[in-house]
């Protein structure tokens, strides 16, 4: 009798174990999003509207920086990996290669808005005009390494150079490197290497501020001699406290960014794994919420939050991507 009971117990345990091993992986009921700190507040707003109907739970969104987001996004496919990554720059070939190597073979790229990078200071201080060459000279390892701004030009203030900069994982840092450090770099340094133009000084004049743009705002308020670098939305939403410098005589405004007249203008993106469209409920509907005119229109809630709207043609393209799930990154 004992042998029979032992065999039955053993059979039950084996059956339970097999059921666990062979059971299909359950789909998550929440979208997981990572990436850019610049895109983070826009993504949160869309998530709030997306979940308002009650059909889906609000996505889980983490601000990891653009570079950090792509690292997580490209780890693979399946419910144990993230679905979407926000980005304040386009995905790079090396990141596409990593995605492909890990089985992320189809990626939907969505440009949803535009942005300008502000070089800002406190409203208690004087507003200045900078050229990109002056900013490069102040910030570059191969620049002048001046202690005071007026050592670079007598049009600049007699205050110490002190700038809060985004970390290397930030898409804002990448865009700054491309649009300011490279464009403002003199030919004599460009001949050395591209990296020579983008190499920043490390003598204390530049202070990495992490991915918390709100922290930068507070630091600028506390120190009128300090400058900070961040996206236009944070400037707009704190316009009573801080001001954006003119860059090469151009003011940072919505119209100047949309027309790319402002020299430090850039597109904003998010990227979706196509393989996850049928794996995690609500991803297609999340895209639809982003593409809705109430979100991305000239008077949409994202524009109210400081996002620079797309042109009409770009908005039509976004709606087409949402409807047809096109826009696959093709350079694989």
Confidence grade of residue 26 (pLDDT, cut at 50, 70, 90): low
Tell me what the mean pLDDT of segment 137-156 comes to: 95
Confidence grade of residue 325 (pLDDT, cut at 50, 70, 90): low
Domains within the chain, CATH numbers bracketed:
32-114+267-324 (3.40.190.10), 115-265 (3.40.190.10)
**Would you state the pLDDT for residue 113?**
92
Confidence grade of residue 316 (pLDDT, cut at 50, 70, 90): confident
Angle ∠(119,240,242) on CA atoms, nearest 5:
20
Confidence grade of residue 13 (pLDDT, cut at 50, 70, 90): very low
Tell me what the mean pLDDT of segment 111-137 comes to: 95
**How far apart, in Å, do the first and last CA atoms of the chain sit?**
64
Greater pLDDT, 211 or 82: 82
**Would you state the pLDDT for residue 211?**
74
Is a pLDDT exceeding 70 seen at residue 282?
Answer: yes
Tell me what the mean pLDDT of segment 297-323 comes to: 86
Is a pLDDT exceeding 50 seen at residue 156?
Answer: yes
Integer Rg of the chain from CA: 24
Secondary structure class of 263 (helix, strand, coil): coil
Q: How far apart are CA 110 and CA 84, in angstroms?
A: 11
- Is 0.85 topped by the overall pTM? no
Of 76-90, 206-220, 254-268, minimum mean pLDDT range = 206-220
Confidence grade of residue 186 (pLDDT, cut at 50, 70, 90): very high
Is a pLDDT exceeding 70 seen at residue 332?
Answer: no
Helix, strand and coil content of the chain, in percent to the nearest 5, comes to 40, 20, 40
**Would you state the pLDDT for residue 27?**
65
Is a pLDDT exceeding 60 seen at residue 329?
Answer: yes
Greater pLDDT, 286 or 311: 286
Of 231-235, 247-251, 271-275, minimum mean pLDDT range = 231-235
Q: Are 175 and 116 in contact (CB under 8 A)?
A: no
Q: How far apart are CA 143 and CA 302, in angstroms?
A: 38
Is a pLDDT exceeding 50 seen at residue 22?
Answer: no
**Would you state the pLDDT for residue 16?**
47
Confidence grade of residue 5 (pLDDT, cut at 50, 70, 90): low
What stretches of 92-190 show up as alpha helix (H) in DSSP? Answer: 93-101, 132-139, 171-176, 187-190
Secondary structure class of 163 (helix, strand, coil): strand
Is a pLDDT exceeding 50 seen at residue 8?
Answer: no
**Would you state the pLDDT for residue 315?**
85
**Would you state the pLDDT for residue 328?**
63
Computed over every residue of the chain, the mean pLDDT equals 88
pLDDT in tens, 48-70: 999 998 889 999 999 999 999 99
pLDDT in tens, 79-116: 999 999 999 999 999 999 999 999 999 999 999 999 99
């Amino acid at each position: 009798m004992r042998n029979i009971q032992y065999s039955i117990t053993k059979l039950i345990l084996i059956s339970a174990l097999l059921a666990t091993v062979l059971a299909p992986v359950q789909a998550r009921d929440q979208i997981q999003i990572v990436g850019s700190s610049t895109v983070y507040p826009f993504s949160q707003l869309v998530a709030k509207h997306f979940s308002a109907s009650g059909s889906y739970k609000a996505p889980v969104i983490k601000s990891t920086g653009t570079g950090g987001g792509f690292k997580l996004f490209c780890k693979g496919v399946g419910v144990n990996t993230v679905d979407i990554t926000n980005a304040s720059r386009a995905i790079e070939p090396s990141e596409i290669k990593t995605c492909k190597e890990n089985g992320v073979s189809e990626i939907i790229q969505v440009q949803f808005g535009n942005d300008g990078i502000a070089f800002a200071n406190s409203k208690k201080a004087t507003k200045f005009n900078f050229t990109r060459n002056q900013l490069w000279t102040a910030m570059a390892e191969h620049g002048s390494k001046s202690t005071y701004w007026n050592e670079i030009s007598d049009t600049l203030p007699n205050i110490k150079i002190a700038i809060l900069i985004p970390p290397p994982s930030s898409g804002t840092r990448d865009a700054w490197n491309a649009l300011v450090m490279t464009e403002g770099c003199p030919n004599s340094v460009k001949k050395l290497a591209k990296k020579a133009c983008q190499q920043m000084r490390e003598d204390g004049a530049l202070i990495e501020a992490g991915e918390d743009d709100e922290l930068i705002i507070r630091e600028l308020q506390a120190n009128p001699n300090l400058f900070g670098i961040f996206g236009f939305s944070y400037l707009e939403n704190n316009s009573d406290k801080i001001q954006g410098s003119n860059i090469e005589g151009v003011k940072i405004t919505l119209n100047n960014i949309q027309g790319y007249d402002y020299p430090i203008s850039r597109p904003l993106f998010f990227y979706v794994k196509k393989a996850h469209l049928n794996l995690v409920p609500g991803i297609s509907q999340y895209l639809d919420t982003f593409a809705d005119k109430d979100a991305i229109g000239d008077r949409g809630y994202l524009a109210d939050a400081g996002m620079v709207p797309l042109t009409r043609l770009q908005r039509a393209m976004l709606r087409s991507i949402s409807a047809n799930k096109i826009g696959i990154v093709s350079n694989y």
